Amino acid sequence: MKQFLKVFRSADRNKTFIVGFVIILSICFTAAFADLIAPFAYDEIDVVHALKPPSIQHPLGTDHLGRDSFSRLVYGSRIALKVGVIAVVIQILVGVSLGLIAGFYGGWPDRIIIFFTDVIWSLPPIILAIAICTVLGPSLTNVIIAIAAVSWAQFTRIVRSKTQSLKNMPYAEAARAAGESNVNIIVLYILPNVFPVVIVLATLALPIAIINTTAMGFLGLGAQPPTPDWGVILANSMTYIHNAPWISIFPGLAIIYIVLGFNLLGEGLRDVLDPRLKI
Amino acid sequence: MRDIAVYAVRRLFIGMFIVLVVSAILFSIMHMMPGDPIQLIDSTRLDQQTTEKLREKWGLDKPAVIQYLHWLGNLCKGDMGRSIVNGQSVTYLLAARLPFTLQITLAALLLQYFIAVPLGLLSGYYQGSAFDKIMIIITAVFRAIPYFWLGIILILFFSIYLKLLPVSGYRGFQSLIMPVLTLTLPALTATLQLTRSEVLEVLREKYVTTAVAKGLNQKMVILRHVLRNALIPVTVLFFLSVPWLIGGSVITETIFAWPGMGRLLWSSISSQDYPVVQGIILIISILTVISTTVGDILTGILDPRIRAEMEGKTV
């Protein structure tokens, strides 16, 4: 908690953090009040007004079924946030616990865990995610699982090396001398010190998870229509690119906006919490 | 230097073991997939007996372990099996497709390096200048661009609006431009940022101050001391970014109907063509392991401090 206060206190000098924070706040606001902001429902079909360019009634135009593009983008922010947050939380749970175990105990648990991270890293993440999604079948839940499965390793690697140095710190030694159990030392003394790094990593892992989700949606492996996932909208737009380019342009801008927000927030946090951490 | 060689051989050995494990995992995943390729080809026209015969012909009736060992044995002879969909040899299919993927991947890598390094160097050297600030904003925005969207925008601009470039397919050099840009631009920012931050770090080093104090001219200091040291991590990133580019090529090739391995992977996955998928993933994991290993070893050769560390570990 003290660290969060520190972030906000030094925030006036940290423009990156402020810009990122405002962007993310605006997206959270949009997602929370989507029902009030969006003029139409995301699946309201109006074939008479299909593929109409931006107008006063439809600020970003309509798609091939006459659905309002703006409303679909607004509802899409919910999906992007949901997927990003859940995927990253799973990554943290798996990655951090494995990193703590590997770093603290060393020996063969360490070797096995490192071997698994090597296996994960011997394939490009997106290809592994495609493979997993093909097996599990296309759906948003499976995309979340796939994305979490391919990206936990970076948490493990960094938490492991942090833990290796932390476990020899005087306070950890003191706790051991006082007869604390290993689990207690990890949870009470090491975890709190690993936490800042994990927060920074998580903020930077979120945008990657969002881009990968939209990529999967784009390939047809993610959410299925009529879900207003930004990647799905983009995939559909390819068919109408000649006569309705506006359907293609705006979802991309939405993705850039949210990814930019998280990147800036993450970099700002890194500058405050752990300036030496380079990712 | 000898110790580096030992280290390299050991790394490659572990790498190949990992490739084997990956292929085994993939093999079991493919076998857990619902349905089998025979049903997918034409289930309506095949009676029970023919289906059985086909399964036997492709070896699909044997247990997965036997099938895997069989596949490994043939692999050693350079035979990766035959495509279930069209009966072509997988080795032949890959040999025909791989060059196209390597073409755009290599072009993207080189373009990325030659654009990002000079810009990063200038940006770091003139830290805080207007140029530096513009570069920071541009990299932040570009890093947020999803490459598949960039592909669509390039098609919109160059093919539909300006009518300059072909939308898709392979028609000589012209067709290369958009896929390469799509792969490069988002990846470029990482190299630029890294070059910039390394240059900033090196500029603060004592040996740079010494060189300046000795009265060496500025160009010499930049080229001999700053650039040389700043490029070590950048060179490593060059190799580490190969897997990302290959991953990106799946979507890029799908958008531009590029006749490479990525699109083949995508179409084989949707038609459950096990042998082809298996072959492509094998090639991709070998490429990934080789490039990361080369990256690691190069760090050792270029940076004496890390070399000492590696030798300490292996001796």
Task: Fill in the amino acid letter for B289.
Answer: V
CA distance B168 to A243: 18
ipTM of the complex: 0.84
Token code pair at residue B118: 């000079």
Nearest CA in chain B to A119: B18
Q: How far is CA A127 from CA A233, B26, B180, B243, B265, in A?
A: 22, 12, 19, 10, 9
Residue A252 is nearest to which of B22, B146, B281, comparing CB atoms?
Answer: B146
- Are B251 and A122 a contacting pair at CB < 8 A? no
Count other C-beta atoms under 10 Å from residue A97's C-beta.
17
Please give the pLDDT value at position B305.
66
Q: Would you call A214 an interface residue with chain B, using a CB distance cutoff of 8 Å?
A: yes
Please give, rounded to a whole number of angstroms, the shortest distance from the CA of A179 to a CA of chain B.
34
Query: Which range, of B35-49, B96-110, B125-139, B256-270, averages the lowest pLDDT?
Result: B35-49
Q: Is residue A139 part of a domain?
A: yes
Higher-scoring residue by pLDDT: A142, A278: A142
Please give the pLDDT value at position B54.
72
Residue A119 is nearest to which of B21, B33, B292, comparing CB atoms?
Answer: B21
Q: Would you call B133 an interface residue with chain A, using a CB distance cutoff of 8 Å?
A: no
CA distance A188 to A197: 16
Please give the pLDDT value at position B150.
92
Residues of chain A with C-beta less than 8 angstroms from the C-beta of B248: 124, 126
Q: Is residue A267 part of a domain?
A: yes
Position A109 pLDDT exceeds 60 = yes
Position B167 pLDDT exceeds 80 = no
Residues of chain A with C-beta less than 8 angstroms from the C-beta of B25: 119
Helix, coil or strand: residue A71: helix
Q: What is the CATH number for A219?
A: 1.10.3720.10
Residue A34 lies in domain: 13-273
Q: What is the pLDDT of residues B242-291, one digit of tens each?
A: 888 888 888 899 888 888 998 898 888 878 787 888 889 889 999 888 88
Please give, rounded to a whole number of angstroms, the shortest distance from the CA of A181 to a CA of chain B.
32
- Are B146 and A125 a contacting pair at CB < 8 A? no
Helix, coil or strand: residue A274: coil
- Are B250 and A127 a contacting pair at CB < 8 A? yes
Q: For residue B248, which phi and psi values (nearest 5 degrees)?
A: -65, -25
Q: Is residue A107 part of a domain?
A: yes
- Are A127 and B140 a contacting pair at CB < 8 A? no
Q: Would you call B155 an interface residue with chain A, using a CB distance cutoff of 8 Å?
A: yes
Contacts A–B by Cβ distance under 8 A: 120
Q: Would you call B248 an interface residue with chain A, using a CB distance cutoff of 8 Å?
A: yes
- Are A126 and B247 a contacting pair at CB < 8 A? yes
Q: Is residue A8 part of a domain?
A: no
* Cα dihedral: A179, A180, A186, A190 (round 10): -80
Please give the pLDDT value at position B125.
86
- Are A127 and B247 a contacting pair at CB < 8 A? yes
CA distance B10 to B131: 45
Residue B152 is nearest to which of A124, A127, A234, comparing CB atoms?
Answer: A234
Residue B251 is nearest to which of A215, A241, A245, comparing CB atoms?
Answer: A215
Position A63 pLDDT exceeds 70 = yes
Q: Is residue A149 part of a domain?
A: yes
pLDDT-derived band of residue A148, with 50, 70 and 90 as boundaries? Answer: very high
Q: Would you call A112 an interface residue with chain B, using a CB distance cutoff of 8 Å?
A: no
Q: Is residue A1 part of a domain?
A: no
Q: Is residue A4 part of a domain?
A: no
Please give the pLDDT value at position A159.
93
Please give the pLDDT value at position A4.
63
Contact B37, B81 (CB under 8 A): no
- Are A124 and B143 a contacting pair at CB < 8 A? no
What are the b/e assignments for A167-195, b being 16+ CB within 10 Å?
Answer: beeeebeebeeeebeeeebbeebbbeebe
Q: What is the pLDDT of residues B60-109, one digit of tens each?
A: 667 778 888 888 888 888 788 888 778 788 889 899 999 999 999 999 99
Position B315 pLDDT exceeds 70 = no
Contact A66, A45 (CB under 8 A): yes
Q: Is residue A7 part of a domain?
A: no
Conformational region of residue B101, where left means phi above 0, alpha means psi within -120 to 50, and beta covers everything else: alpha
Domain count, chain A: 1
Position B42 pLDDT exceeds 60 = no
DSSP state of A52: P
Position A155 pLDDT exceeds 90 = yes
Over residues A159-168, the mean pLDDT reads: 90
Over residues A80-105, the mean pLDDT reads: 94
Conformational region of residue A62, where left means phi above 0, alpha means psi within -120 to 50, and beta covers everything else: beta
CA distance B126 to B220: 17
Position A44 pLDDT exceeds 90 = no
